Amino acid sequence: MSYKIPMGPYHPALEEPYKLDMICEGERVSDAKLHIGFNFRGIEHLAETRNYIQVIALMERVCGICSNIHTLTLCQAMEQLTGQEPPPRALYIRVVMAELERLHSHVLWAGIAAKLMGFKTMFMTCFEIREKVMDVLQAISGNRVNYSMNRIGGVNRDIDDPLAVLAMVEQLEREMVRTVIPIFTTSTTARMRCAGIGVLTHEKAISCGVVGPAARASGVPQDLRRAAPYAAYSELEFDVPVEKDGDVRARLLVRALEIMESCRILRQALAKMPSGEFHTGEGKIVFSTGTATSRVEAPRGEVMYSVSWKENSRNPSRVHVRTPTFANMPAIRWMVIGARLADTPLIQASIDPCYSCTDR
Amino acid sequence: MNLWNRLMCYSRRRSPWLFHMNGGSCNGCDIELIASLTPRYDAEQLGVRLEGSPRHADILCITGPITHNAVNPIKTVYDQVCGPKAVVAIGSCPATTNVFIDSRTLAGPLNLHIPVDVFVPGCPPRPDAIIQGVAKAAEILAERAAKKLPVEPVVMPLVGPGCGGACGCTAADKSGAKEAQP
């Protein structure tokens, strides 16, 4: 006989409010249903009432983890509408911020995954290392979470001394190589808890249209930094880690390898940073009528913004956001079917869901 | 007050257990709350522990601008916390609804729905400020246990739209509004 177990919306294992209804046969999950919308703040509507400076501050608060990515995507779309071309130094600073954010997001995810595995020591270690990433972010922007770095036509703050930041990044990389990466890739605890659960096959990954690390862990070599380079990614060398297995361990490995690739990108970007201006100046910004879209590879996958504007208007007429979790959500159902009930918190966390982005 | 009660007041001040609730937050404050419990900031030295059940908790930490969907759960959870209890509103969102002001899907600020003891302003507040707010709430908890304050917090009157007493205005001061200064 099957029975239904509701998990959430306010549940200690969940960071954010959402509801997972699981139909169980004994210990096994036979079907699952996801309910979202508890975080709906109506941001897309609010954006239509804000001018082009306020809308950046508003969109930064779509998500507290990947706040920089949202303003980066929005500013790229608005730059297409205004014809403002950011100078090369601004593009490199954007890459540095995006990669630092990827680092802190992946380490945060690793900490939460470790907590869900019941590996509390690792959770504390991950957060200790994450604080060092936050130090670098704070040294650059002055803030820990909402950096407010992006503006139309560049960035708000310069990196005065890239070599000092480079030293901090190298220190960070050494710590990652010493603790987080070996524990997640070789530890028996992590392997036994993650291997073979929450499998998303290659075919299913393509048919669900998953993005980001969840897709790359199912053998879909898809990364916008490679496929449609933005900012300064076309001038930097990096690999896109891909795993074939599609289970939670593969997603863990992809993220661990991405942490290393992020460090590699950071080292190159800080060493190669061109001199010059970092924004286009304080001139008047004139919007042309039209719709511009922009796509960026966020830590969780592809973020797309579509911004519509009417000429001589202060406010956008429409800002549409498509977040990676929106694309990855349907895959949770296929991951948890057949899984043990005790594994479901870890499986649903393995796509690194961010429902505050998705609900907006 | 006998020795047993004095001991209980001391223990309450030294081991406040938190229950964290997300009322439509962007995750910024939630992650900073978790960061304040981890080795760098180490709120656990104050005896603070994040607890999974509201019935075991002393302090309710609420983040986010309170969406309509979150109002009833927050009231339910508030009733489930056993007294004496204290409420900490983390971030600018529960105090004033922050950048989301005027949104029709929001039912904030938080003190329209439940009484709030400590506001920790900031978007998001630094972990140090969150710890200070929790420490302040722990003191309020101890006073409440000693019956120096009413067992239940008092609902503060609103002065002006969305003021919530968080701006430090005089009417809110008279009703006992407390504010943490980071």
Does residue A26 lie in a domain region? Answer: no
Q: How much is the pLDDT for B158?
A: 43
Fold of the domain built from segment(s) B3-180: Rossmann fold (3.40.50)
Strand order in the sheet with B118-120: B49-50, B17-22, B59-63, B86-90, B118-120, B178-179
What is the spatial distance between Cα B103 and Cα A40, in angstroms, rounded to a whole number?
Answer: 10
ipTM: 0.85
pTM of the model as a whole: 0.85
Out of B40, B77, B105, closest to residue A128 by CB? B40
Q: How much is the pLDDT for A73?
A: 92
With b meaning 16 or more CB within 10 Å and e meaning fewer, what string describes B134-172?
bbbbbbbbbbbbbeebeeebeebeebeebbbbbbeeeeb
Nearest 5°: phi and psi at A164?
-65, -40
Identify all chain A residues contacting B32, using CB atoms and an 8 Å cutoff: 144-145
Out of B73, B99, B124, closest to residue A57 by CB? B99
Segment (H or E) for A23: strand A19-25
Residue pair A113/A252 in contact by the 8 Å Cβ criterion: yes
Distance of residue B6 Cα from the nearest chain A Cα, in angstroms: 32
Task: Please list the ranges in chain A whose pLDDT falls under 50.
Answer: none
Could you tell me which residues of chain B have a Cβ less than 8 Å from any Cβ in chain A?
Answer: 21-22, 24-32, 34-35, 38-40, 52-53, 64-65, 67, 69-70, 73, 77, 98-100, 102-106, 123-124, 126
Q: How much is the pLDDT for A293?
A: 92
What is the spatial distance between Cα B95 and Cα B99, in angstroms, rounded to a whole number?
Answer: 11
Domain span at residue A124? 39-331
DSSP state of A283: P
Comparing C-alpha atoms, which of B163, B152, B148, B151 is closest to residue B110?
Answer: B163
Q: B32 vs A145: CB contact, 8 Å cut-off?
A: yes
CB contact, 8 Å: A238 with chain B? no
Q: How much is the pLDDT for A286?
A: 83
B27: closest chain A residue by CA: A64
| pLDDT tens, residue by residue, B119-165 | 888 888 888 888 888 888 888 888 887 776 666 665 544 444 444 44
Residue pair B103/B109 in contact by the 8 Å Cβ criterion: no
Identify all chain B residues contacting A9, using CB atoms and an 8 Å cutoff: 69, 73
Out of A12, A16, A40, closest to residue B105 by CB? A40
What is the spatial distance between Cα A78 and Cα A292, in angstroms, rounded to a whole number?
Answer: 7
Q: Any idea where the domains of chain B sit in the sequence?
A: 3-180
| pLDDT tens, residue by residue, B58-78 | 889 999 898 888 888 888 888
Q: How much is the pLDDT for A305?
A: 92
Q: B31 vs A108: CB contact, 8 Å cut-off?
A: yes
The label of the residue with tokens 């922009």 reads A294
Cα→Cα distances A353→A261, A262, A347, Å: 22, 20, 10
- Do strands A154-155 and A290-298 pair parallel, antiparallel, or not at all (unpaired)? unpaired
What is the spatial distance between Cα B70 and Cα B63, in angstroms, rounded to a whole number?
Answer: 11
Residue pair B91/B63 in contact by the 8 Å Cβ criterion: yes
| pLDDT tens, residue by residue, B7-47 | 877 777 788 888 988 888 888 888 888 888 888 888 888 88
Q: How much is the pLDDT for B170?
A: 44
Nearest 5°: phi and psi at A30?
-100, -20
Among A39, A53, A59, A122, most B C-beta atoms within 10 A, so best to mutate, is A39
| Number of independent structural domains in chain A | 1
Comparing C-alpha atoms, which of B102, B104, B148, B120 is closest to residue B20?
Answer: B120
CATH code, domain with A207: 1.10.645.10
Distance of residue B20 Cα from the nearest chain A Cα, in angstroms: 8
Out of B26, B32, B98, closest to residue A63 by CB? B26
Comparing C-alpha atoms, which of A331, A336, A182, A349 is closest to residue A253?
Answer: A182
